Every structure is written in structure tokens, then in C-alpha cells.
Structure 1
């Protein structure tokens, strides 16, 4: 459990970095966009504001997921992390929809060609956002946090839309007034990439909430560890589901039908203790003991 708390703390730290970065970048993009007549840059800045909200939700979700189990939530509060991940994915799709709407509106309305210095700001944004994406996604992958990984994609989407704006503004500056809306077209096209990834991220979060099975590697690990426990004849009915940054496992073990209940109970405890000791992300294990004969008790 302490390991999962440590991993959660890592997630909280990178999420705080994301929030601070987004505040600074959003302010910079909006101000530069207003002064430099770049509507794509303004839209990009607004999208960064939604990133601040989504990162804040991730922060809350991770904090809630750390709360220990209680009477009302006997399995803990880990699902808060998955709910945060779903919210972030929805925000990503929402941001794409907003940019599409604003881009179409700006394409219809003639406006001034953006100033050249907006390219410098965009270049800084692209590099910063891509580095943030790689840092946060790497952390999210390490701690197996859907919410943190989804939040990282907000930075990648920012990098994509900023790159699109950079290309569009460059075209507008080279081509003149006839191409003044090129940055809006570029932002519009970039949104489809964001939508594609947003849908994928939403599916991942939904899978966590729907208790999708754990990875094959983890299932194999649990099966091997359990099978090697003294007294266990075979293993079946293994189910592992994600809860926050950890996992809950249910497993059926077959033991010698002639041993006592106490001995069977001891074997089950040995299985549980071994799994909790050898895999830091397993939070709890429920072991069901079955005899190796076909005799059934008739009541």
C-alpha cells in the first residue's frame, strides 16, 4: 500500500508541474495572440485554460484515491483516479470541439495577417509542451495512472495545435492577406488528431472503470507465484482488476481435499502474503480454497 502511495505522490508532483506550466503558457499565448492578431494562438491559449481545469481534476482524483478504505467504500477510493482520467479525456474532446467551432468562425471572417513574432512564441510552446508530454506521460506510464497519462496527452495536443498554428501562420506570412486564415485551417486539421487520441484515452479510462482485466504479464506473474506456493495443486478463476494505481486480485486454488480447514486456510494465507510481498502494486488478494476431489457437500 505504501508503494502505491509513493507512486500517487509522484503523480501529484508532475500534475502540479503541469498546472503551473499551463498557467504560464496560457497567459503567454493569449496575450501574444491578442497583440499579434493570431486567433489560432488565442484559441490555443483558451485550450490551455481547459488543461488547467483537467489537471486540477487529476490532482483531486489522485488525492482522493489515496484515502484508505472505509465502511462505505470497503474497496478503497482508487476509482477516483479512473474517473479523473475519464474527465480529462472528455476535456480533451471538448477542447477539440471548441477549437473546431472557433476556427470555422474565424475562417468565415476576414482578419489581419498574424505578426511574425507569434512564431517565436509558438516555437517555445511546441518545445515546452512536447517535453512536458514526454515527462508526464513517462511518469504516468511508470505509475500506471490512466489520469496522469491522459493529462499528458493534453500537452501533446497543445504541441500539435501549436505546430499547426506555426505552419498556418508561416503560410499566412509568406502568402500575404489571401492566406490570412491559414492558421485557422491548420488548427482545424490538428483537431482531428486530437479527437482520435481523445477517443482512445476515453476508452482506456472506461476500461478501468468497467474493471477490465489486468495485463497478461501481471496475470502470468500471479499464476506462477501462486502455483509455486507449497500445498497449491492448481490455480484457476484468477481475476485481477485495477483500483487506482494498484490491483485487487481474486483467485481460486485447488489443494489436497484430505487436509484440514486450518491447513487450507494457512495455504491461502501463504498465497496472499507472497503476492502482497512480491508485487508492490497488488493491494489485496481474495483466495478461495477448493479440494482436489469431486466430492460435494450436500446440505
Structure 2
């Protein structure tokens, strides 16, 4: 079966947002629903975020060159940052509009069609969210995972829109701004989580628990006396590991090289690490692990 690519998820997102933003803006203006119009503009800005993610994924596919010896995979993380910034601006804008609404404003009762539109949008975006979440896991794409989180925020926004419009129909005016405030806060929280994860990776942050697991597995290899240093970093969805191992000082170059090959094979076959650099040192009793 043909392997799915993360760009498919980005195209699905862009197509979905174009349809939803046009429908919500048109029906929002026709039904006098401020909540639905805001939801439509929210989807319109999501088109920009999804386009940024698609560009990042396409750049990440470019092969290595003289200026990028490790490839262009980190463009995917940069696109995640852009998506986070756009999401944060949306969330802040929602919160500002809520504060303005709480200060007072003209009350306009929207039509019920706004409820059905927002409800249908929530259901539709939930399926898009599930599709991209699964595709992100299959392709190990951080940018697509960030897009999936954004989709879930859009589902919550549409659900909040439904609640707000129903509240307006029942003359419960406080329900709309309170729901909008919660949605705005959740959008900002999601944007912050995406920003933190992408910036952590771009600054060469790595899961310390995984490094400890790698170290324990490597030290079980026959001929490895000790792991004195191990570091990891992410290049897009690929892991790169630098490890320094100690072997018996009387071993010849060929035998030491075979041990290093077994370390690389372990990391690749068990953990999918295709970029591993193994440095060999002679074992000494007073060697200390540099990661401690």
C-alpha cells in the first residue's frame, strides 16, 4: 500500500478551512451571529497556519546540501512556531473581544441556522482532527501534530459558538462571553504548548528519559564496558545520537569498530535512530558518566 505523507494532512486542513471559513462568514453575516462570524475569521487565519505548515513540510523534504549537511528537517519545527504564533494571536483577539462584550454592546438575536452551522462544523473538524492526529503518529510529524491540536481547538471553538448562540436565543447573554473567554484561554494554552515543544526541539532539547534508556541498552551490548557520554537531538522527525563508549584497551581497531557497529544497529533497529555517531575510548576504572 502506498505510504501516506504528512503533506496530505496539510492539504486536508487547508481545504477544510477554506470551505468552513466561507460557509461560516456567509451564514454569520446572513444570520446576524457575531459568534459565527468570529468563528469564520478564526478558520480563515487557520488557512494561513496550515499553509505555513505545508511549506515547512515541503522544505523539510529537500535533500542535504553544502549549507545544510543534516538536511532541512528543522523547517518543520519552524512551521510549528509560526502556527503557534498565529493561534496565540487568535486566542488573544478572542479574549479582547470578550472583554469588549462584557463592557456592553448592542444585543442582536441571531438565527437558529447559526447553531446548525457551528454544530456541523464541530463534527466535521473533529473527523479532520482524528485523521491528522493519526497521520501525524504514522509519519512522526511534529508540524502535523501541531496542526491536529489546532483542529481540536477549532472543534471547541465551534462548540462554544453553539452554546453562545443558543444562549442568545434563550436571552442568557452572559453565556456567550463566558464561553468565548474559556475558548480563548484554551486556544492560547494550545498555542503555548506547541510553541514550547517546537522551541525545545529547536534549541536541541531532548527527552532525558530516552537518553537513559538508550544508555542502559547500549551498556548491555557485549564488549561495551561503559557509556561515558550520550547526547541526542531532533532533526525534524529524525533522531540523532552522539554516544561515547568505553571498550577494553587491548582490543584492536577492527574489534572496536564491530562493537560500534552493534551499537548503531541497536539504535536503528530498536529505536529507529538512523543518525548515530559512536566514539570509542579505552576503558579506565575512574571514567565518569558525563551525563550525571
For the Cα contact (< 8 Å) 1:110–1:181, is it kept in 2?
A: no
1:74 equivalent in alignment to 2:69: yes
Q: Deviation of residue 162 (structure 1)?
A: 1.4
- The answer to which of 9-18 and 182-191 deviates more is 182-191
- The answer to which of 30-39 and 194-203 deviates more is 194-203
1:202 aligned residue (195, 208, 211): 195
Q: Deviation of residue 119 (structure 1)?
A: 0.6
Q: Deviation of residue 256 (structure 1)?
A: 0.9
For the Cα contact (< 8 Å) 2:91–2:188, is it kept in 1?
A: yes
The answer for the alignment partner of 2:79 in structure 1 is: 84
The answer for the alignment partner of 1:226 in structure 2 is: 218
TM-score, with length taken from structure 2: 0.88
Q: Deviation of residue 53 (structure 1)?
A: 1.0
Q: Any residues of structure 2 matched to 1:254-269 within 5 Å, and which?
A: 254-269=246-261
CA distance in 2, matches of 1:163, 1:127: 9
Question: Would the alpha carbon gap of residues 170 and 101 (structure 1) be closer, same or farther in structure 2, given more than 3 Å must change?
Answer: same
CA distance in 2, matches of 1:246, 1:8: 17
Question: Would the alpha carbon gap of residues 9 and 73 (structure 1) be closer, same or farther in structure 2, given more than 3 Å must change?
Answer: farther
Give a deviation string over 1:37-75, Cα, whole Å, max 9, x none: 011111111110111111111111112122222221112
Aligned length: 286
CA distance in 2, matches of 1:235, 1:41: 58
Q: Any residues of structure 2 matched to 1:1-299 within 5 Å, and which?
A: 10-105=5-100, 108-175=104-171, 179=172, 182-214=175-207, 216=209, 218-219=210-211, 222-280=214-272, 282-293=273-284
TM-score, with length taken from structure 1: 0.86
2:242 match: secondary structure: strand
* Unmatched runs of 5 consecutive residues or more in structure 2: 288-292
Question: Would the alpha carbon gap of residues 248 and 222 (structure 1) be closer, same or farther in structure 2, given more than 3 Å must change?
Answer: same
* Unmatched runs of 5 consecutive residues or more in structure 1: 1-5
Q: Deviation of residue 184 (structure 1)?
A: 4.5
For the Cα contact (< 8 Å) 2:247–2:282, is it kept in 1?
A: yes
CA distance in 1, matches of 2:138, 2:76: 15
For the Cα contact (< 8 Å) 2:150–2:190, is it kept in 1?
A: no
